[in-house]
Amino acid sequence: MSRPARPHVPMRPLWRCRACGAEWPCQPARLALLVEYRDDRTALLVYLGTLMQEAGDQLAQLNGHARPAGLADRFLTWARARGQDPDGP
């Protein structure tokens, strides 16, 4: 009750986090997504791929049509890493 939870969601078309202002997906957003999709990593990657496409298009327009570099790292690589995956049942 004491601290209003602001959702870490992207602000379009800048793709910065509405809550913390970092490039989205920020760390809290990544954690929330990993929890939300913990049973379906494939669906998470599909979802992130769609967002990456959208972000790429929108950022490219802001950027004088240059496609921003490093989007795959920003949107996908962290979700593929399995380092912290518990070996669930």
Looking at this protein, which amino acid is placed at residue 34?
A: L
- How many Å apart are CA 71 and CA 6, to the nearest integer? 24
Instruction: Find, among 3, 2, 15, 9, the residue nearest to 63 by Cα.
Output: 15
Judged by CB under 5 A, does residue 19 bind Zn ion? yes
Q: Are 25 and 74 in contact (CB under 8 A)?
A: yes
Judged by CB under 5 A, does residue 74 bind Zn ion? no
Residue with tokens 């791929």: 49
Nearer to Zn ion, 36 or 66 (CB): 36
> Number of residues in contact with Zn ion, rule: CB under 5 A?
6
Nearer to Zn ion, 8 or 74 (CB): 8
Of 10, 15, 17, 75, which lies in the binding site for Zn ion, with binding defined by CB under 5 A?
A: 17
Segment interacting with Zn ion (CB under 5 A) among 24-32, 55-63, 69-77, 79-87:
24-32
Residue with tokens 């049942």: 89
Residues that bind Zn ion (CB under 5 A): 8, 17, 19-20, 26, 28
